[in-house]
Structure 1
Amino acid sequence: MLAELHLSDVLAAAVEDVDVIVEDDIALDEVLQALAVFVASILLAVVVRRLLVRAFDRDASRHVGLVAGRFLGLVVVAVGIVYALGILGVQIGPLVGALGVGGIAVAFAAQDMLQNLIAGVMLQIRRPLRVGDQIASGDFEGVVADVNLRTTVLQSYDGLIVYLPNAEVLKNPIINYTRTPLNRTSLTVGLAYDTDLARAREVLLAACAAADGVAETPPPEVWVEEFGDSSINLAVRYWHAADIASRWRVRSEVAISVKSALDRAGMTIPFPQRVIWSGEQE
């Protein structure tokens, strides 16, 4: 009996809230006016967005106007919805209060959206990346396809489309391969322990410099890196164009040139090997 009374009280309170939200019966002309206001707000949002794009995005690589236009467009539409509801006699205050827990959930969701929105604006102002740049952020690499209100869109080198939240992009280090003309790569080459290291450095330097795509300035370098288990390892360091495609292409050219030069010089790249000693001497 008590449960039935409690349910009746809740239903009665809900009906009262609805009565407060909608004051009077809605007339047809009010519906048409509200609809006209809503449509007008959408059209105004489109106009505002296009004006901001034309005003700020004269540089094809800049998208401040696009991001700001999307945000202000949403604000215009939101204001239009509120005004249209006012025409229909709907009170926004009681409506928000009636949402209860649902309103709290929307607030938390809006908080995440706001963080990504602010991060998106900061990315456009600071411009650490542009559409078309090759970047790495976190565990992802690719070409920037778009920066919108919520995400930075990357097209990975495997052909995948990756959507990165703007807040995460701004929080993590950003490596922009396009902003710098040259990048350095190191290739480790292992040689047998009986190799003449001075002669090996000369051979490797000449082979690296002759590879297609290796920059002349700064010049290539070859240094003895470590004494490994089966070989003496030398680091071949060279500069090349910074884009990812050039990195892999030039690395392959250097490896082919180095292997051919070592073969001609009679120098051996050893297989992994172990020396077993039993403790007995002859």
Structure 2
Amino acid sequence: LGQFGVQTTSIIAALGAAGLAIGLALQGTLQNIAAGIMLLVLRPFRVGEYIDTGSISGTIVEIGLFATELKTPDGLYRLAPNSTLWNVPITNFSRLPTRRFELKVGIDYNDDIDLAEKIMRDHAEADKRVLKDPAASTHVDQLGDSAVVITLWYWTAASDFWPTSREMIKKVKKSFDENGVSIPFPQVTYHGSPQMIALPERFVDARVKET
């Protein structure tokens, strides 16, 4: 080409620049393809399973080579590039056959702890969807500022997790009310003389005007 007066250096430079531009443009696409292949091979999730990555959550509708389709719990459609799913930790809520439910309830310090634990265990053991092994259990989780926190653990089939959990919360609350077990509001107990309490400025100004 040089013999015909064509500047080969300029052509090579132009081709190099074009190749670089194309490479940069395809970089994201190639990443998605590579991630899609890994997702299809390793299968951290399958169609019909519910996942959460922290920023993306929903039920898997379709796994494509470039992107994955999901349906959110409120019925929205989401399309996630495969690279965004491959490079982050994934929590799969549907993969394992059983799940553990945890219910934490705070009761008043004057209430009967043993009674509260028994109520929670009885409801779990009476539900046929709750597994017998491992058995439902309760324990005092912590002594909070305003309440004694009791925790209930039980296991169910993954498909029964949400129905049982919603019903369990309602049943425990109603039984607590019927048996005089209270769930206190956050509160602070003040010990000291009234003179030590700092009053808002508007009340201080009012007292000064009265005197």
Shorter-normalised TM range: 0.7 to 0.9
Contact residue 208 and residue 258 of structure 1 kept, 8 A: no
Counterpart of 1:146?
62
Contact residue 225 and residue 233 of structure 1 kept, 8 A: yes
Shift of residue 256 of structure 1? 1.4
TM-score (norm 1): 0.59
Selected match of 1:253 from 150, 154, 167: 167
Bigger shift: 137-146 or 113-122?
137-146
Query: 3-state DSSP class of the match of 1:117?
Result: helix
> Against the structure 1 CA distance between its residues 211 and 273, is the aligned structure 2 distance closer, same or farther, given a 3 Å change threshold?
farther
Residue type matched to 1:156 in 2? T
The Cα offsets for residues 24-64 of structure 1, whole Å up to 9 and x where unpaired, read as xxxxxxxxxxxxxxxxxxxxxxxxxxxxxxxxxxxxxxxxx
Selected match of 1:263 from 177, 181, 184: 177
Query: 3-state DSSP class of the match of 1:149?
Result: coil
- Mapped to 2, the partners of 1:115 and 1:279 lie a distance apart of 68
- Kindly indicate whether structure 1 or structure 2 has the higher relative contact order, using CA contacts under 8 Å at least 6 residues apart: 2
- Mapped to 2, the partners of 1:97 and 1:113 lie a distance apart of 25
Selected match of 1:166 from 62, 74, 82: 82
> Against the structure 1 CA distance between its residues 160 and 97, is the aligned structure 2 distance closer, same or farther, given a 3 Å change threshold?
farther
2:72 counterpart of 1:156: yes
Counterpart of 2:146?
230
Structure 1, unmatched stretches of 5+, are 1-12, 21-93
Tell me which protein shows more strand as a share of its residues.
2
1:35-46 equivalences in 2 (<5 Å): none
Counterpart of 1:276?
190
Shift of residue 125 of structure 1? 1.1
Selected match of 1:196 from 94, 103, 112: 112
Residue type matched to 1:106 in 2? I
- Mapped to 2, the partners of 1:247 and 1:203 lie a distance apart of 20
The Cα offsets for residues 222-247 of structure 1, whole Å up to 9 and x where unpaired, read as 1101111211111112222325xx44
Contact residue 210 and residue 257 of structure 1 kept, 8 A: no
Contact residue 188 and residue 236 of structure 1 kept, 8 A: yes
Residue type matched to 2:33 in 1? L
Counterpart of 1:176?
92
Higher Cα radius of gyration: 1
How big is the alpha-carbon RMSD for the aligned residues of Structure 1 and Structure 2?
Answer: 2.5
2:36 counterpart of 1:120: yes
Structure 2, unmatched stretches of 5+, are 195-211
Counterpart of 1:137?
53
Residue type matched to 2:74 in 1? D
The Cα offsets for residues 178-237 of structure 1, whole Å up to 9 and x where unpaired, read as 211111121111111112222322222102223464333322111101111211111112
